[in-house]
Amino acid sequence: MSTRTAVVTGASSGIGEATARELAKQGYHVYVGARRFDRVQRLAEDIGGTALELDVTSEDSVRAFTDAVERVDVLVNNAGGAKGLAPVLEADLDDWRWMWETNVVGTLRVTKALLPKLIASGDGLIVTVTSVAALHTYDNGAGYTSAKHAQGVLHRTLRGELLGQPVRLTEIAPGAVETEFSLVRFDGDAERAAKVYEGIDPLYAEDIAQIVAFAASRPPHVNLDTIVVKPRDQEGPGRFSRRPAN
């Protein structure tokens, strides 16, 4: 049997990088894409995969990336993130555009381009990393929550549209995972980013990667539809139990 192949978008850090490592451990040849090519190149060397530059907001970049992938059994739509935390009254339109272009249209571009190959694989799987922000709203978060809701709707719509095709769809909606996510959200402000995880035991990228690998290792007739995963210390997007600072 030929080697099963996975594609992980946004594999230069966090959940994407950990997922690529986990799938490689399961025997997949993994195509890893992100804008920071040096990082995905190092990762690909480590796991015996293939690194490709990928900007999901660019039509040309997605075309070059998806053309280079000959076969795909598992697609992990992971590239994404948040920019800013502002009430609607003060919304930064560029931040909103970034979030919608990356999380929503980016997922659409990559999925649309790889769908024929996923179907042709005979047992395809699309994993989309959305968020608890795809299921709930929170104050000052509408740019991100609306984008993640839309990304979730895109993914869930495909579940119906692909009925009868040999493709499974799994949405993973995580709560707080300690990655570069908050650093990106707060424009490189490390102190502010660290506060998000202060006094809690957050999830780590590996926790999500193991869930992706579990979904991928189910037999073809088993579709894990939606997996919501949060730290024990988190009840909802903005509701945490925090240990007091020393």
Whether residue 204 lies in the annotated active site:
no
Cα–Cα distance measured from residue 225 to residue 208, given in angstroms and rounded to the nearest whole number = 15
Minimum Å gap between C-beta 242 and ligand NJP is: 15
Which member of 28, 31, 138, 144 is catalytic? 144
Question: Which residue's beta carbon is nearest to the bound ligand NJP?
Answer: 14
Minimum Å gap between C-beta 67 and ligand NJP is: 16
* Residue-by-residue DSSP string for the chain: -PPPEEEEESTTSHHHHHHHHHHHHTT-EEEEEES-HHHHHHHHHHHT-EEEE--TT-HHHHHHHHHH----SEEEE----------GGG--HHHHHHHIIIIIIHHHHHHHHHHHHHHHTSSEEEEEE--GGGT---TT-HHHHHHHHHHHHHHHHHHHHTTTSSEEEEEEEE--EESSHHHHHTTT-HHHHHHHTTTS--EEHHHHHHHHHHHHTS-TT----EEEE--TTEEETTEE--PPP-
Cα dihedral across residues 17, 142, 105, 5: positive or negative:
positive
Minimum Å gap between C-beta 101 and ligand NJP is: 7
Minimum Å gap between C-beta 142 and ligand NJP is: 15
Minimum Å gap between C-beta 175 and ligand NJP is: 6
In this structure, are residues 216 and 7 in contact, taking their beta carbons and an 8 Å threshold? no
Name the residue nearer to ligand NJP (CB basis): 43 or 167: 43
Query: Which residues are registered as beta bridge partners of 35?
Result: none
Query: Measuring CA to CA, which residue among 207, 97, 109 is closest to residue 144?
Result: 97
Name the residue nearer to ligand NJP (CB basis): 118 or 129: 129
Name the residue nearer to ligand NJP (CB basis): 123 or 196: 196
- Contact positions vs ligand NJP (CB under 6 A): 9-16, 34-36, 54-57, 78-81, 102, 106, 129, 131-133, 174-177, 179-181, 184, 205
Name the residue nearer to ligand NJP (CB basis): 5 or 128: 128
Name the residue nearer to ligand NJP (CB basis): 9 or 121: 9
Active site members: 144
